[in-house]
Every structure is written in C-alpha cells, then in structure tokens.
A and B are shown apart, each in its own frame.
Chain A
Amino acid sequence: MSYELIAILMFASMMLSLMTGQRVFAAIGSVAVIAALLLWGDGGGNLAYFSLMKAMKWYPLLTLPMFIFMGYILSESKIANDLYRMLHVWMGSLHGGLAIGTIILMVLISAMNGLSVAGMAIGATIALPELLERNYDKRMVTGVIQAGSSLGILVPPSVVLVLYAMIARQPVGELWLAGIGPGLLMATLFILYIVIRCKLQPELGPPLPEEERNVPKAEKYRLLLAGLLPIMIFAIMMIPFVRGWTSLVESSAIGALAALGAAALKGKLTLKVLEASTRKTLGITCMFMWIIVAALCFGAVFDGLGAIKAIEGFFLEDLNLSPWQILLLMQLSYIILGMFLDDTAMLVIVAPLYVPLVGSLGFDLIWYGILYTITCQIAYMTPPFGYNLFLMRAMAPDVVSLKDIYISIIPFVFIMIIALGLVTVFPQIALWLPEQVYGK
C-alpha cells in the first residue's frame, strides 16, 4: 500500500470515528496507534507515550491552564459585569448600541484570556439575557457573541497562537502583537455591520428607553473606571513579557495572579468562585491536553509516512501551482477540514504539514500565523464541528434554538472571510505593530 493511501485512510477512519460521537482524543489516538502498530509493529507502540513526553517538553503549553483560569475567574466572579454595565450606559442610546457594546466587551475580555470560552460564558450569561430582554433580534445577538468571543484566540494572550508558535518555531511575542491589528480590524468590521444593519432595520436593535439612560453623571464616570480593569490586567501581564523581563509562561502566571487579585479587590473572590474556576479549568485543560497528546501521536505517524514531502510534491509538482494559489488552496482546505475536525487537533495535525511548505515558498510565517488563526476562528463557528457552536448550545437560554445559532453566524463568517482577505492582501495590518516594537 502506498504511503499516500495510508495517510488518506487514516484521515478517513478518524472522520468516521468522530461521526459516531466518539470522544475526540480517543478517535484521533486510536487511529494513530492502530496505524503505528500496523506500520512499525512493537516499536510503533511507543509512539503514543513519546507524544505524551513531547507534550511535556513543550514548555509554552503551561500557559494553557493559566489563561483558561484567568478567563474563568473573570466569568465566575462576575467582575466583568461592571464592564458590561459601562458599555450599557454609554452605548445604550444608539440603535444597536448594546450589540456594539457587546463587541467592545468581547475585545476587552479577549485581552484577558487566551481562548473563546470566557467570552462565550460572559456573553451568554450576562449580555445575551439583557439584550433579549430589550428586544434585540436574537439571531443577530447570538451571532455577535459567538463572533466577538472568537476574537479571544486572535487578540493576545492567545493560546492558538502559542500552539502555532511552537509548531512553526516563531516567537510568541511577535505573533501576539501581530494579532492585535487584525483583531481590531475584525471588531471594527463587526461594528460596521451592526451599525449598517440597524440603520436598515432599526427594529433589530432598539435604543434603550429614556428612563434607563438617565444615569447620573457621577455613576457614568464611575463605571468608566471599570474599563481600566482589563487594561491593567493586560498591562501587568504583557509589559514584563514584551520587555523581556519574564518569559511567556511566567507572565501567564502573573496574569493569573492579577485576575485573582482583581477579583479579590472587588470582594468577589469567594470559595465558590474559586472552586468552580479551578474545576472548570481542569476540565478544559484536560480536554485540550489529551487532544494535543493524541494529535501529536497522529502527527508523528504522518511524519513517519513522509507526509510533508508528499504534500509538497502534490502542490508543487502534481498541481504545478504558483505560491499564491497554493496558499489559497491551503486556507480553503483548512476551512473545510475545520468544519469536521476539532480545531485544536487540526492545528496540531495539519499545521506541521503546511508550515514548512509555506516557509519554503517565501511567505512570512508570522503573517501566516495570523491568517491561520483567522481561519481557525471561522472553523470555531462553522457547523457541524465548531467549538463556539458547541459552547453556545450548552450555555444559551432556551429561546435561542439550534437553528437560530446556526443561522446567526452566517453574516459574521462572511465578515471574517473579508477580514481574512484584507490581511492576506495587506500583510502590514498584522506586521506593522511587531515591526515597530521589535524594530525588525
């Protein structure tokens, strides 16, 4: 049997196994070990455990529980409520103002955690009920929260970019800074969409009634202070790291401490909050780590099959494409694979296959990391397998049906594709900031 055929068979059996509702890590891991045993016999049996040891040596993975914990402290302690109140009071008078405020809220939360989980939790529990109560269109609002929270993986700190940095061997600091421009661009596009949509159909986002807007000036300014919280946590964490005083992982622990401190200062750090955050952090971290370990094993089998060379040969010789055509095809295949495959697994399995080729074609790997992450964001939201969809279904109130969730993302996926196009055509959107800071 040719190696290409084995590789395709492995992918197909993994997909099939996923269809049965198998745990993702078990689907990936079992296909990997069966293939390894069949190919290399007894020696192949060690591959699974080697992958576990390899995951241990991936030092930056330590940021994963830290950033997840930060996010949970924020959402469980409800210290983000003031942030939401602030945006509520300041933006409420506009058509669609609360939806715009929610996007801004999501950007601020993204600056304090590395995944979309916390944004989803805060969005679904605080923003969503309020918006529905004020007669906002449920489909628009559901989309706003899913799209907004997906910024969590693009705006630093970002766990996806940490994983990419390990795979592509690129500096995390530059990648993170590169994520800021595109993240803000995307948030702006979301806001523009809401503004235009609400201009055309004002009933989708009614402004707050007069009496609710009548908040005393002093209260209004006090709430503005709430906006300082994320900026401070972000600064405490990022400044030592960007200045090179602490390593990435050390900074993530400082960030976790800062989040704990913020919750304590606000008097919200109860035992219940601490227990729930710690427990949920364990659950999510375990899920991610077991998927990463299994996917590393899968990737190692692929590597042994010479899949990198095969893909290079396929794109360069069999299809005879130009570098840009190859890039486009890769992004397309990501989006399609991302629909069916868990996004973390996709990153660990597929990125090592593509990154060497992207590098050898002469593209900037920092820029490519951002393109990759935006593609990941799209994958997070597209059915049937989207991480944000999965969370939304678990957290949304009953009035929001599954159909609503699926329909709600359509305009936002289009906007993300536009953003992806813009960053592809104008790499400076991503690369300007790291060049300024690191003076390349």
Chain B
Amino acid sequence: MPKFIIYLVKSIDWVNYYIGRVAMLLLFAMIAVLLWSSFSKAFLSPSLWTLEMAQFLMIGYFVLGGPYAMQMSSDVRMDLFYDSWSVRTKAFVDCFTVLALILYLGVLLYGGIASAQYALKYNETSATAWRPKMAPIKIITCIAIGLMLLQALASLLRNLARLRGVEIKTPAELHGHTGEG
C-alpha cells in the first residue's frame, strides 16, 4: 500500500476522532440548555431560544459525532451471514457496500450545499419567535457530512489495504472504544 494512502487514512481518522470527542460533549450543552429551559419556565419568563438551540445542538451532536461513531463501529449490521465470513471476505464485500454509503452521503451533501447556499443568499431565518439564521447550522451540517464522507472513503481505503494484508487501525480501536461492552 502506498505510504501516502496510509497517511491519508490516518489523518482522516485522527481529525474525525478529535472532532467526535468534542462533539460527544455537546450532550452536556443540551442538558444545560434544557435545564435552563425548565428553570426559566418555572421561575422566570419562558425563554424563546431554548427549544431551537437544543435542536441545533442535537443535530450538531449526531452529525459531527457520526464519523467517530463509525470508527467505534456502533452501527448495526445484519450479521446473519456477515458474521460467519472471514476477515478477507468481509473486507472484500465492504469495499462494494461502502460505495453505496458514499453515494448516499454524496447526495446528502449535494442537497445540503444547495440548501446552505439558499440560506445564505436569501438570509433565511427560522419561522419561530426567536427567528435564528439558518445558514450557520446548515453550513455546520455540510461540513459534518463532508467529514462523514471522508470517513467512508477512509473505510474504503482501509478495506483495500486489508485485502493487501496491511492493517490500519482507527483511533477508536487503539483506545478500545469499539463494540458494546
């Protein structure tokens, strides 16, 4: 396997790993916003911004955390046949199935860029009392989908390398962050 490909895969892995580690903390931001929301409703005047802020945090949470979750192999697969295959067969089949993932993410990104451009051009705001601008969250989702796309690409390269007998471990694997237990 060419050196630069291994280097590329590792770079994607590590960037996404650190982004995921930070995104994971957005959970606490969500909790804080929602607690403030309950508190202000009970004792002060209800806040207008909490509901949407929490939604923005949630979407950032799972799109930015997506690549890291992929590294942790949190996604479910139907392992009826998959589980009984050898490592090589798995890698071989994965090379093809990951193409479908790349296609899906590509279309998702395409729609996202169109939507973000629209939001920037017409200064789109949300139709609520708070009226936040929509462009920032759309741009963030586009970046995140782009990172997810890179992670899918890394997965393809990793499987190709595996077929040639080169194992490139993800940071999540190195830290033992895989599986359920």
Contacts and interface: CB of A to CB of B under 8 A. Distances in A.
A185 interface: no
Given A30-B104, A33-B103, A34-B103, A56 B65 contact: no
Interface string A28-48: 011011101100000001111
Interface in B48-66: 51, 54-56, 58-59, 61-63, 65-66
B59 A52 contact: yes
A20 B108 contact: no
A23 interface: yes
B141 A52 contact: yes
Nearest to B101: A26
Interface of B: 20, 23-25, 27-28, 30-31, 34-35, 37-38, 41-42, 51, 54-56, 58-59, 61-63, 65-66, 68-69, 72, 74-82, 85, 90, 93-94, 96-98, 100-101, 103-104, 107-108, 110-112, 114-115, 137, 141, 177, 179-181
Interface in A275-317: 278-287, 289-291, 294
Please give me the 7 A-B residue pairs with the lowest Cβ-Cβ distance, nearest first: A21-B82, A49-B111, A283-B74, A253-B34, A286-B69, A30-B100, A26-B101
Contact of B37 (A24, A66, A250): A250
> Which label, helix, strand, loop or mixed, suits the secondary structure of the A interface?
helix
A376 B122 CA distance: 44
Contacts of A414: none
Interface string A231-245: 000000000100001
A321 interface: no
A384 B97 CA distance: 20
B77 A50 contact: no
B45 to A, nearest CB: 15
Contacts of A394: 179-181
29 contacts: A21-B77, A21-B94, A22-B97, A22-B100, A26-B97, A29-B104, A33-B103, A33-B108, A36-B107, A45-B111, A46-B115, A48-B111, A53-B115, A59-B51, A65-B27, A245-B41, A247-B37, A250-B34, A257-B31, A278-B27, A278-B28, A279-B24, A285-B61, A286-B74, A287-B69, A290-B66, A291-B76, A342-B78, A387-B76
Nearest to B116: A49
Given A21-B81, A26-B104, A62-B34, A395 B181 contact: yes
B100 A26 contact: yes
Contact of A254 (B35, B55, B141): B35
A50 B75 CA distance: 22
Nearest to B50: A250
Nearest to A287: B74
B74 A284 contact: yes
A21 B90 contact: yes
Nearest to B66: A286
A251 B141 CA distance: 27
Contacts of A167: none
Given A61-B58, A283-B72, A49 B112 contact: yes
B75 A33 contact: no
A250 B62 contact: no
Contacts of B63: 52
Given A26-B100, A53-B115, A61-B58, A252 B34 contact: yes
A327 interface: no
Contacts of A7: none
Contacts of B27: 65, 69, 278, 281-282
A434 to B, nearest CB: 23
Given A17-B100, A23-B101, A257-B35, A62 B54 contact: yes
Given A25-B75, A287-B75, A253 B35 contact: yes
Contacts of A254: 35, 38
Contacts of A245: 38, 41-42
A24 B79 CA distance: 11
Contacts of B104: 26, 29-30, 32-33, 48, 294
A281 B27 CA distance: 9
A278 B42 contact: no
Contacts of B177: 279
B69 A45 contact: no
Nearest to A342: B76
Given A20-B97, A21-B93, A245-B42, A65 B77 contact: no
Contacts of A251: 38
Given A48-B111, A53-B115, 11 more contacts: A24-B76, A26-B100, A46-B111, A50-B111, A52-B112, A56-B55, A253-B30, A278-B28, A282-B24, A285-B62, A384-B78
Contact of A24 (B23, B78, B85): B78
B29 to A, nearest CB: 11
B43 to A, nearest CB: 11
Nearest to B60: A56
A235 to B, nearest CB: 16
A170 interface: no
Contacts of A49: 108, 110-112, 114-115, 141
B69 A282 contact: yes
A319 to B, nearest CB: 30
A32 B24 CA distance: 29
Nearest to A276: B177
A246 B36 CA distance: 11
A56 B97 contact: no
A19 B81 contact: yes
Given A22-B77, A278-B24, A290 B62 contact: yes
Contacts of A256: 31
Contacts of A384: 78, 80
A33 B107 contact: yes
A56 B181 contact: no
